[in-house]
Chains A and B, each alone.
Chain A
Amino acid sequence: MENNLVSTSILSLIIFLPIVFAIVLALWPQKNTIRELALGFSLIQLGASLFLLKDFDSSTAALQFVEKFNWIERFGISYFVGVDGISIMLIMLTTVLMPIMILGAWNSIDQRVKDFHVALFVLQSAMLGSFLAMDAVLFYTFWELSLVPMYFIIGIWGGSRRIYATVKFFIYTMSGSVLMLLAIIFMMRLTPEVTGGAMSASLLDFYKLKIPFVGGEFFTPQTLLFFAFALAFAIKVPLFPLHTWLPDAHVEAPTPGSVVLAGVMLKMGTYCYLRWVIPLFPEAASHYSWLFISLGVIGIIYGALVAMVQPDVKKLVAYSSVSHMGYIILGLFVLNVYGMNGALYQMLNHGVSTGGLFLLIGMIYERTHSREISKYGGLASAMPIFTIIFIIVTMSSIAVPLTNGFVGEFLILMGTFQYSPGVAAVAVTGVVLGAAYMLWMVKKVFFGPAGEIVKAAAHDPAHALHDLTTRELVVMAPILILILWMGLFPNSIMDYSKVSVDHLLKNQQNYSLEVE
């Protein structure tokens, strides 16, 4: 790795470039070029992350591109960022989705365009920061900061019940994270025993802590800390029964808001299980894995069953998210190599396929201003290209072989089978249910007798349905490519994370990360 300034501070560049972009956008005088400018910025950001990917060494589990400066010296809090095989996946997911999102929002956001893009870039910065932060307080700062722009995105550009949804989203997430803050403070107090005197908030020092654990007793430090962290992340994921904010937020959010929420924000929760909960509290994580596995399985079935009866297509996809996130939690907590690799892969898959579904729903909503399944029907004849793309993304979502979804779900189920065939048998019903509600929806919307909307389009030229425009095709092209690429060549992607995941599993009881 050459030792120039760009490559030694690439992570800071990736985190803070969006903030710079946000400031430039906020001060940009011309109103009609905001979208082009934002798209350009997001492509620069994508370029920076590709540069990181090029120099990334996937043969080691060590932390790379590390930057560490004192931030609040008094308490050993530092600006400490680093990337390993786990976080690089999510960095790429975030930066790849960003230009797609901006292009997807081209027409759907028509008010306060500048403010919207400023919020989007601040959000991107906060999300990237929380994936890369290796210091507890720095992480908490980014974690909480990410709520603020999302709060505005749902609240300003959302649907009719947007205020209810956004306040609920904010309060739910916040109430989980304050307990985590207390846990962080508590753990910082314990660090002097491993650093030899000074307090530290570095995650690497946290890993070295041996926090007392007594199996079967709830009121032991490790169990309490474990639950304080796990609760914060479970709300974000969201794990059943803490999921109720998600459908509201998804339905009310504007299309790009839904995409970023499903695509990246939910992954902050699952990623943090991998980065924080499982390695920090190894005994508690193994001891209570049954709880998370059960909740994950309940989430899979429950999400699927509720999705089945939704009249609103966006709500249907929102509940399918609950179901899919259940798989990821299941994969993480079976604590074996298939499950965990599958869970990490599924995080990316869900980002791509559910993000894609929300984009497609946004496109049709722009044309018809309706999301009610019963009003559609026979759309395939009016919009054939749209139909084909929608079906491909649906296939990915229900894990048909050759698509990315299959690889992730298959690995997770294999891991679950290794853990317990009984649990796997229950979880598999989720696959069937998932196929059922998605295909049922596809059938009702695209095939069958022409519905109200298609009829109106045929009779009234004002309501005519035109097929996808070039811009929309450009939006969907990368998603389709990713779906097929990740389905056909999963190793080309998993190779980046394999060593890190193996390292985590091998050393789960005694985890540590080296710094390169």
Chain B
Amino acid sequence: MNSPVGLADLLLISPVIVLFLFSLVPLVTKVTNGNQEQNPKTTLITAIMGLGISAGLLILFGGSDQTIFNNQLLFDGLTKWMGLIAIIAGAAGIVMMSENPSTHFEQFSETVFLAMNSICGMLILISAVNLITVFIGLELMSLSLYLMIAMSQEQKLSKEAAIKYFVLGSIASAIFLYGVSFIFGSVNTINVTDLMQIASTAIKTDKLFLFGITFVVIGFCFKVSIAPFHAWTPDVYQGAPTPITSFMATAVKVASFAAFLRIAATQVFQGSQNLIDVIQWLAVLTMIVGNVAALLQNNLKRTLAYSSIAHSGYILAGVLTVGLSANSAYSAATVIFYLLTYSVMTLGAFAVLSMIEKSENDFISTDSLAGFAKRQPGLAFCFTIFMISMAGIPPALGFFGKFYLFGAAVNEGLIWLALWGVINSVVGVYYYLRPVVNMYMKEGDANISNEKQYASTVLVIAAAMFLIVVGIFSGPLFSMIERSLS
């Protein structure tokens, strides 16, 4: 073993270091100012600067296919793209936090500190190739998150959500770790790059290894809310302040799926038909549970929580495709593309919710949107774009995301899975259109906030334009992602 840390290592890890240093700035300023909270705008600008520099460094050094710290972290195309998506989604969450009534008060600096550290954890999780490092990234990300959820001062629900998420998240982590120990016990390595050579044969011969992989998969299923491990999701998403819900639904999910994708890319599933069957049916079950339960909700935040479960089902189908695929660059690109699509439309929808919330104790029901289009036509139009994109109607980006994802599934012969996917997206249309019906086709004087929130407005407009413009010209972006993976 050579010197443990070289210059190359530092360059590659620099996005994480920069992020951590910038996360300290608001906190230190607050302490030196006699514990006086500074203007949230200043904090926001600091955070965005940090995230921007970090994203820039990630683009510069990220996709170089090098490993650092003695094979702990790998910086390849997957790291670059997933990292970027996580940073963008995280930044969007912080923008919302700076203006949402439940997060932008006395403890905003602390919240931002935690959020940025959570993103650090995500970057580690995304780049980790050693299962123990994966665990460290997972925990750094989750622990910051538990605290963020609980930070809100008034709301009882958020405390409940934090505890619930903490307990269940810990169990998931324990299951994951348990699985890792079995893997180490049976094949003597927990490095994903090593597993790539042996996994698909070991899983046939070694029952303990199969056991270990299954537990690792279940651990991830918890994190990305795959049914039947999804039960925490609606409660936690509903209880947390809306910007933090958006943060969880987008950035956290992207990072967890990135690590899941690394496991799948070892082609370990190819050795076990049982495992393939189970994952396939978990994906279908998740789509059905998410979509059907979303039909029954009136609380818009809960609807979006179930919709995010349904989307997890689609993405799991994509992850399975990667696991079975010989041309995994193509399949992985479809998953990354879908995660990007999903993140942008989800954060857009949550941003609209976050803007129209009056206080943290009040919730936005689907009915309360009645007449919204007359009062705020621009915002209503953007929200419509998010809903149409989620429903998968062209030319919005959501359609092309699904098109690529199901295309890859058909390519691997998973036609039944794709069939379930498209059938479910019809079910989705019903509840995605319901807010639109209320906004445009009903009269009402809703009890929602009309306060101007400039940063969030910019965010919403940017997300909506992204969905339409990139939707129409999605080809180049997809090819770019695919090229950087191969």
Contacts and interface: CB of A to CB of B under 8 A. Distances in A.
A148 B475 contact: no
B422 to A, nearest CB: 4
A185 B410 contact: yes
Contacts of A144: 393-394, 399
Interface stretch (B38-46, B101-109, B229-237, B426-434): B426-434
A170 B410 contact: no
Given A72-B475, A74-B478, A75-B407, A163 B395 contact: no
Given A145-B393, A162-B441, 11 more contacts: A74-B475, A75-B407, A141-B394, A145-B394, A155-B437, A155-B441, A163-B441, A171-B430, A174-B393, A185-B406, A188-B407
A66 B50 CA distance: 50
The contact size tier of chain B is 20 to 34
A77 interface: yes
A147 interface: yes
19 contacts: A72-B400, A73-B475, A74-B475, A75-B475, A140-B394, A144-B393, A144-B399, A145-B394, A145-B395, A151-B433, A152-B440, A171-B426, A178-B422, A181-B403, A182-B415, A182-B419, A185-B418, A186-B415, A189-B410
Interface in A148-187: 148, 151-152, 155-156, 162-163, 166-167, 170-171, 174-175, 178-179, 181-182, 185-186
B36 interface: no
A440 interface: no
Nearest to B393: A144
Contacts, number: 79
B393 A77 contact: no
A36 B410 CA distance: 50
B388 to A, nearest CB: 7
Contact of A185 (B403, B474, B482): B403
A147 B440 contact: no
A141 B475 contact: no
Contacts of B419: 182
Given A72-B478, A171-B430, A182 B394 contact: no
Nearest to A172: B426
A70 B399 CA distance: 19
B10 interface: no
A155 B440 contact: yes
Interface string B408-431: 001100010011001101100110
Report whether over half of chain A's contact residues are helix, strand or loop; otherwise say mixed: helix
Report whether over half of chain B's contact residues are helix, strand or loop; otherwise say mixed: helix
B486 interface: no
Contact of B426 (A71, A166, A174): A174
B376 interface: no
A75 B474 CA distance: 11
Contacts of B407: 75, 185, 188
For the complex of A and B, list the 10 residue pairs with the smallest distance between their C-beta atoms, beginning with the closest: A72-B475, A178-B422, A141-B394, A155-B441, A175-B426, A185-B407, A74-B479, A185-B410, A144-B394, A144-B393
Interface of A: 70-75, 77, 137, 140-141, 144-145, 147-148, 151-152, 155-156, 162-163, 166-167, 170-171, 174-175, 178-179, 181-182, 185-186, 188-189
A225 to B, nearest CB: 12
A71 B410 contact: no
Contacts of A72: 400, 474-475, 478
Nearest to A154: B441
Contact of A174 (B403, B418, B429, B474): B429
Contacts of A174: 393, 426, 429
A295 to B, nearest CB: 23
A141 B403 CA distance: 11
Contacts of B388: 148
Given A73-B475, A155-B441, A156-B440, A171 B429 contact: yes
A52 to B, nearest CB: 24
Given A182-B418, A185-B418, A137 B403 contact: yes
Contacts of A185: 403, 406-407, 410, 418
Contacts of B393: 144-145, 147-148, 174
B420 to A, nearest CB: 11
A182 B410 contact: yes
Contacts of A75: 407, 475
Contacts of A162: 441
Residue of B411, B415, B433 with highest tally of chain A CB at under 10 A:
B433
A155 B406 CA distance: 31
Nearest to B411: A189
Contacts of B411: 189
A74 B482 contact: yes
Nearest to A188: B407
A446 to B, nearest CB: 35
Nearest to A77: B475
Residue of A70, A147, A156, A182 with highest tally of chain B CB at under 10 A:
A182
B331 to A, nearest CB: 13
Nearest to A72: B475
Given A74-B479, A74-B482, A163-B437, A170 B429 contact: yes
Contacts of A163: 437, 441-442
Nearest to A155: B441
Interface in B435-484: 437, 440-442, 474-475, 478-479, 482
Contacts of A71: 475
Interface in B369-391: 388
B425 A178 contact: yes
Interface string B323-334: 000000000000
A166 B433 CA distance: 10
Residue of A141, A175, A185 with highest tally of chain B CB at under 10 A:
A185
B479 A73 contact: yes
A175 B391 CA distance: 12
B101 to A, nearest CB: 32
A140 B402 CA distance: 13
Residue of B400, B419, B437 with highest tally of chain A CB at under 10 A:
B437
B430 A167 contact: yes
